[in-house]
Amino acid sequence: MLGVASAAVGLWAEGRIRRAWGGSPRQLRTDDPDLLSPFERLHFPVLQLPIVTANGAKVPVVVEMIHPMEPDHYITSVHLVNDRDPVPSKGQFQFTPANGQVHLSFQVRLDHGISVVMATADCNQHGRWTSTRPINIPEGAGGCAGSAPPPGRPRGPEIDPPVIRIPQLVKYGRVRPDEIIDVQLKIRHPNRTGLVYRDGKFIQESEPFYLQDLQAYYSGERVSRFAMTSALSDDPFITFKLRARSEGSLRIVLANNRGQRFEVTHEIRFS
């Protein structure tokens, strides 16, 4: 799966990597992996998103890396930004060695037009590295003016409790010790920027409402914390990795910007 730096050339638009430590930043073409040294490839945040999409309110984004996640050498955080948008930050995602691998999948709001999304990864030893991907969203399909529910939204409560799904448990009925597993989190929750697009500019018409914080605990230890923004899509489906180092409880606590909290627990068992 992490061969995507070379295998995804035909699926994803050209991106770039920038080294932001130890001298002047340097850019390399990622559609030719032979131009990356093994060290650079290790620190390259592989950013995936569609080249073109007609739904700027729910753009799928994936970030993953082959970087080790060991106590003395690991990726501490990944930050996603689109400087062209009225809500530039798409979230900052903190990791620990307990994750086992940097992998993040979720959905964001992006404005219409041609723009560039940037992923920045921080290594605890080797500083900051960035990669970029362009995206094109047609006029009228941008998602940043997300103050009203999308058409066709079913009636009923707008917020449902979060649910955790672990595909390895569903498929095999168990998890192997030290296996890196997928944690999939689903929650029904509206996420609104409160912005409207009027007379060629964005105006803050109402207060934003969105999931602001996600914290994941494994056997009582916090392993990840995700700081999200109003650019998060409605009803997000979030996936990240976790190393199953022992049996225990996986607990995820979410909070929105109005102080409401939501919690879900899933037991990790080896047999």
Contact between 33 and 45 under an 8 Å Cβ cutoff? The reply is no
- Beta-carbon contacts of residue 110 (< 8 Å; ≥ 6 apart): 56, 59, 82, 85, 117, 135, 137, 142, 143, 144, 231
* Confidence check: pLDDT of 147 > 70: no
Between residues 146 and 43, which one has the greater pLDDT? 43
Q: Hey, is 32 helix, strand or coil?
A: coil
* Confidence check: pLDDT of 52 > 60: yes
What's the pLDDT tens digit per position in 197-215?
Answer: 888 889 999 999 999 999 9
What's the pLDDT tens digit per position in 67-112?
Answer: 999 999 999 999 999 999 999 999 999 999 999 999 999 999 999 9
Count of alpha carbons within 13 angstroms of residue 222, beta-carbon side: 8
Give the pLDDT score at 33. Answer: 58
Give the pLDDT score at 10. Answer: 27
37 pLDDT tier (thresholds 50, 70, 90): confident
* Confidence check: pLDDT of 265 > 60: yes
Give the pLDDT score at 48. Answer: 95
What's the pLDDT tens digit per position in 164-182?
Answer: 999 988 888 889 999 999 9
* Confidence check: pLDDT of 256 > 70: yes
What distance in Å separates the CA atoms of residue 67 and residue 76, rounded to the nearest whole number? 11
Contact between 147 and 193 under an 8 Å Cβ cutoff? The reply is yes
Give the pLDDT score at 140. Answer: 84
Strands 89-94, 103-108: pairing kind: unpaired
Alpha carbon distances (Å) from 110 to 50, 139, 166, 184: 12, 12, 29, 23
H or E, element range at 39: helix 38-42
Give the pLDDT score at 139. Answer: 87
- What domains appear along the chain, each with residue ranges and CATH number? 4-144+158-268 (2.60.40.10)
H or E, element range at 127: strand 127-137
Between residues 165 and 32, which one has the greater pLDDT? 165
* Confidence check: pLDDT of 131 > 70: yes
Give the pLDDT score at 34. Answer: 67
Give the pLDDT score at 118. Answer: 94
What distance in Å separates the CA atoms of residue 150 and residue 154, rounded to the nearest whole number? 10
What distance in Å separates the CA atoms of residue 197 and residue 22, rounded to the nearest whole number? 42
Give the pLDDT score at 247. Answer: 94
Give the pLDDT score at 32. Answer: 55
> Which of 8, 35, 4, 7 has its CA nearest to residue 17?
35
